[in-house]
Structure 1
Amino acid sequence: MRIDHDYIKRMIDVILSHPSPTFTIEDFDSAGLPYQTPEFEFHMKLFDDQGLIEQDDGDPGFGLTKGIDGYASWSVLPLRLTSRGHDFGEAVSDKSVWEKVRKELPGAAMSSLVTVSVGLFQAYAKNKLGLN
């Protein structure tokens, strides 16, 4: 499965628009991103791999367990964006950053997407503030 940048952006939008500091997988479901799909599982694992999300109590994982037969079981756990997750969310919420990354790096891996988006946002901010 390939990384879908637009799907990632939709996930970030759901998280950032949530009224409380924590969210659950059901919030994605309510926003039209059903959590019981391979696409959702794949992208949540990427968020977890990059340290963008964590359980609110700091325990590892995001509520997915799989049996030996591959059957997926979801637990509804309070999750939160980490500081790194907020940096990424802020970066991809900037229209200039998002359009540039989507255009110039359409097949970027998740680590590149995070690093480049945050770096580009920081460069735009420094330039805007005259700190170059």
Structure 2
Amino acid sequence: MKLDKELVRDVLLAVEAHDEPDRWLAIKIPGKSDIEVSYHIMLLAEAGMLKADDVGSHDGFEWVPTRLTYKGHEFLETVRDPEIWRRTKEGAEKAGIAGLGMLVELGKAYGKQLLKERLGIDLP
């Protein structure tokens, strides 16, 4: 299964909106199957962006999140701005890169670029 950048952001936003960080959250994303959502939850957990549990049984694949990690919050804050998210996705597509680590780095770079454009501030 391919990494879906939009689904990554949608899952993180759904988990962020969850008010009970110690309880499992059933996430439904319109137009995405439960398997696609579970797969991306698993990837985000492996990347350290959220806490999740493998609750699948011998006859099913299912990952359920409980909360974002600091790294997940940081990434989400980086790409929350629609312009930064648009640039991040376009940059990843142009470069042929889809890994979560590279999305994080691209998001940071475009965030810094946008700060410079809007505020005239150069960040290292």
TM bucket (normalised to shorter chain) is: 0.7 to 0.9
Whether contact under 8 Å (2:41, 2:64) holds in the other structure is: no
Structure 2 unaligned regions, length at least 5: none
Match of 1:115 among 101, 105, 115: 105
What code does the residue aligned with 1:101 have?
T
Q: Which residue of 2 aligns with 1:13?
A: 13
Quick one: structure 1 residues 91 and 75, their matched pair in 2 at CA, closer, same or farther if it must change by over 3 Å? Answer: closer
Shift in CA distance, 65/102, structure 1 to aligned 2, threshold 3 Å = same
Deviation at 1:131, TM superposition (A): 2.9
- Mark the runs of 5 or more structure 1 residues left unpaired by the alignment: 55-61
1:4 maps to: 4
| CA–CA distance in structure 2, aligned partners of residues 111 and 91 of structure 1 | 13
Higher relative contact order (CA 8 A, sep 6+): 1
SS of equivalent residue, structure 1 residue 105:
helix
TM-score by length of 1: 0.69
The one-letter code matched in structure 2 to 1:9 is R
Q: CA RMSD in A?
A: 2.9
Establish whether residue 39 from structure 1 lines up as the match of residue 36 from structure 2. yes
User: Percent of counterpart pairs with the same letter?
Assistant: 20
Count of matched residue pairs: 118
TM-score by length of 2: 0.73
8 Å CA contact 1:53–1:81 kept in 2: the answer is yes
User: Residue deviations 1:8-54, cap 9 Å, x none?
Assistant: 12212212333x2626332x13x5477x7321122112111111112
Report the Cα offset of residue 94 of structure 1: 0.8
Q: 1:38 to 1:83 in 2, by over 3 A?
A: same
1:87, 1:118 within 8 Å by CA — same for their partners in 2? no
